[in-house]
Structure 1
Amino acid sequence: MMQDLTIEGFSVPAGERARGQISALELADGSSVQLPLVLINGAKPGPRIYIGAGIHGDEVNGIALVNRALAAIDPKTLSGSIVCCPVQQPLALLADHRLPISQYLKSPLDQAPTDAWTCFPGDPQGNIAQVMAATLFRLISQCDAALDVHTPTRGGRYVPIAILPHMNLGEPAREAERMAQLLGTGWIMRGDKGMYVSDGILCVEATKAGIPGFTFEIGEGGRLEEDQVAIGAQCVANLLIGLGMIEGDQVPPAETHVMRDFLGLRANRGGLLITERALGEAVKAGDVLCRIFNVYGDEVEVVSAPEDGLLVRTTTLGSVSKGERVATLGLL
């Protein structure tokens, strides 16, 4: 028989769900920054999974899709339990910005690092980002697995993609890869270098601690997109079905691409950007990906694929400066 789900002062009986908030920070006016929680305790034994979204304030697709996925779950038929924080950085959401920019502008040097996502496992005696990460990691540490939901920043769009921690983390990393397959996005990045596998990233530090986790990116930052919310909610359901937590039929992708690295391409000229390839399309070395035109209408740069790959991220901005990213390939 399932026990009560007891976490952060909440106690949820078997077969029930609850909402709550936990205090994470005190601001200058004495008000408290509260982390919202959705707690679902199944009627039957099973794993406890942590699901987090909105650690960046422009990632509203993630907030919407986890809420939709959880709303469809009946606690009386759930096996195991779910601990969800749909907004992992409320200050960033209030700013409608990737970071809690008002705090950073107040004291830039004291607030570095600024991104809680890069600060795990955090420091309860550190700066705002580190305290927030420590609070979240306390939740994660009480679970058996972790799913971290994201979108790229404004002006970028990803295919739905599961991004794994590096594979040198032993059995928890292998379990994270199994979970990524269950998610059913059709796109998996299994890389060993770059930002997503760096120390301090949420899923990397969770996996180091024996809690298999991975990053799920979908859609575009700063936009709430119904089609992406629907796809993402189905992916979360796929994962829970695959873990034996809920009943139902998974919706598998037509094909799954497992990639070994990201290759980001940046503009050498500034101007107006026109992308010529569809997101998710396979490209060959030499294929034209996008073109840049100056303000007089002259074509000043043609950006071509330097090698074969899959177009996993496009830039949706209408204009770019030299040095800005214009496309990202996934290399097989």
Structure 2
Amino acid sequence: MIPIISTIPLRQMASGDRLSLQVYKFIGAQPGKKVYIQSNLHGAEIAGNAVIHQLIDFLLSINDSDLIGEILLVPVCNPMGTNERAHNFSPGRYCVYEFKDWNRIFWDYEKEADNLASFAKTQLHLDLEMVKQNYRALIQQKFAQLLEKINSPSSVLYTEKFRYQLQSLCLNSDYLIDLHSSTNQGLNYLYYFRDREASAKYFLLDLGIWLDEYDGDAFDEAFIKPWLALEECFKQLGREIQFDIEAWTLELGTGMQMIPNAVAKGLKGIKNYLLQKGVLKIADFNLDNTHSHTMNFKTRSKVTKYYAPVGGMIKSRVELGSEVKAGELIYQILSFNKEGKLPTVIDVCTQANGLVYDISINQSVNEGEFVIGVSS
């Protein structure tokens, strides 16, 4: 199967050079669901680029009759962040001009939908597919208005142009997958939204963190939050519904690295997800038995991030993936005070039982810097 490849201009730099997106669209022989997959929204988080490359190779090897619907792939979706450097390091988490997190800038329709309850009442007795079509048209109509400001003489900040370009590619999708990595050293896991646990298992990862709290400005949140809000409106009106609309953020390994194991897990999980959702229809193509796969589900609001109480060097620390108990020693800081005293070792213990899912790369910390993340 051969993709349609398109290049979308993003930004002209002061030097005259232009940054662009490259998009790969695979269209199946039969219409169906639309899938959007992007990687590298944060500059240091490059593992997803390898996943998309291998996914492209896989899709090139199958027939268009094996794909039901469309798959849109966008590697290196943020060239500004990807190209950012500080000596040998690739930070790229923030737009340095505006000092905004690249994944906290996106347009959320639900924040502007002051008539959502009224809309839900008009759709109450329609079939689910018709409701979805009507609501999507409403979202896209409102989204199109953003272009008026972008094209006005006063124009807008770059982050607003950037978000418009990315969101214009995915608004009509059914399934969205945003590929990230830990800024530090992290496990392979995913973030998911309410009532989507069954689909979360399709990715064959060991850990899933439910986003029970969010502001709607992240890419996955901005995509699915309006649909969750409409589901809630219908529930209040006495009709239980769930749209077949899903958004996922996969966290694959460590920043600035394409760890083979993390890439393999991401690729395998996406393939299985597409199979289980009916996007891929390939005879004799089997992966692990999804239904027997067990997944450890945690909750975002119960994640505790530990920050250094003093400045110093991390002397010892529990390993990534460890299960810890309340009161257990999880790390020590070697503190070189400037008080005419000998260096001291500060012990830090856990507040509650949990799983160590994220640890800092840098073992030199200033007071108040991140050291370890524990999900209870």
Match of 1:249 in 2: 286
Gaps in structure 2 of 5+ consecutive residues: 109-145, 151-155, 228-244
Match of 1:135 in 2: 165
What is the identity, as a one-letter code, of the residue corresponding to 1:306? Answer: Q
Match of 2:270 in 1: 236
Match of 1:183 in 2: 203
Give matches, 1:313-332, under 5 Å. 313-331=358-376
In structure 1, distance between residues paired with 2:3 and 2:189: 29
May I ask how many residue pairs the two structures share in their alignment?
297
Match of 2:190 in 1: 162
In structure 1, distance between residues paired with 2:38 and 2:212: 23
Q: Is 1:221 aligned to 2:262, yes or no? A: no
Q: Given the superposition, is the C-alpha separation of residues 158 and 225 from structure 1 closer, same or farther in structure 2, using an over 3 Å criterion? A: same
SS of equivalent residue, structure 2 residue 270: helix
Q: Given the superposition, is the C-alpha separation of residues 130 and 274 from structure 1 closer, same or farther in structure 2, using an over 3 Å criterion? A: farther
What is the identity, as a one-letter code, of the residue corresponding to 1:201? Answer: A
Q: Is 1:40 aligned to 2:26, yes or no? A: yes
Match of 1:305 in 2: 350
In structure 1, distance between residues paired with 2:311 and 2:358: 19
Match of 2:79 in 1: 90
Please tell me whether the aligned partners of residues 106 and 218 of structure 2 are also in contact (alpha carbons under 8 angstroms): yes
Match of 1:270 in 2: 311
TM-score (norm 2): 0.73
Identical-residue share of aligned pairs (%): 21
Please tell me whether the aligned partners of residues 184 and 235 of structure 1 are also in contact (alpha carbons under 8 angstroms): yes
Match of 1:152 in 2: 182
Residue by residue, what CA displacement relative to the aligned partner does 1:29-76 show, whole Å, maximum 9, x if unpaired? 333221111211122333110001101111111211222133212242
Match of 1:4 in 2: none
What is the identity, as a one-letter code, of the residue corresponding to 1:136? Answer: L
More relative contact order, 1 or 2 (CA 8 Å, 6+ apart):
2
Q: Given the superposition, is the C-alpha separation of residues 178 and 119 from structure 1 closer, same or farther in structure 2, using an over 3 Å criterion? A: farther
SS of equivalent residue, structure 1 residue 135: helix
Please tell me whether the aligned partners of residues 201 and 293 of structure 2 are also in contact (alpha carbons under 8 angstroms): no
Match of 1:115 in 2: 101
What is the identity, as a one-letter code, of the residue corresponding to 2:81? Answer: A
CA RMSD, 1 decimal? 2.4
Please tell me whether the aligned partners of residues 116 and 133 of structure 1 are also in contact (alpha carbons under 8 angstroms): no
Q: Given the superposition, is the C-alpha separation of residues 141 and 254 from structure 1 closer, same or farther in structure 2, using an over 3 Å criterion? A: closer
Q: Given the superposition, is the C-alpha separation of residues 84 and 291 from structure 1 closer, same or farther in structure 2, using an over 3 Å criterion? A: same
SS of equivalent residue, structure 1 residue 117: coil
Gaps in structure 1 of 5+ consecutive residues: 1-14, 168-173
1:24 is displaced (CA, Å) by 2.0
1:298 is displaced (CA, Å) by 4.4
Residue by residue, what CA displacement relative to the aligned partner does 1:238-258 show, whole Å, maximum 9, x if unpaired? 211221222332335863111
What is the identity, as a one-letter code, of the residue corresponding to 1:161? Answer: Y
Please tell me whether the aligned partners of residues 93 and 102 of structure 2 are also in contact (alpha carbons under 8 angstroms): no
In structure 1, distance between residues paired with 2:277 and 2:293: 21
1:139 is displaced (CA, Å) by 0.4
SS of equivalent residue, structure 2 residue 265: helix
Please tell me whether the aligned partners of residues 51 and 148 of structure 1 are also in contact (alpha carbons under 8 angstroms): yes
Please tell me whether the aligned partners of residues 335 and 346 of structure 2 are also in contact (alpha carbons under 8 angstroms): no
What is the identity, as a one-letter code, of the residue corresponding to 1:99? Answer: G
Match of 2:56 in 1: 70
1:286 is displaced (CA, Å) by 1.3
Moved more, 251-260 or 230-239: 251-260
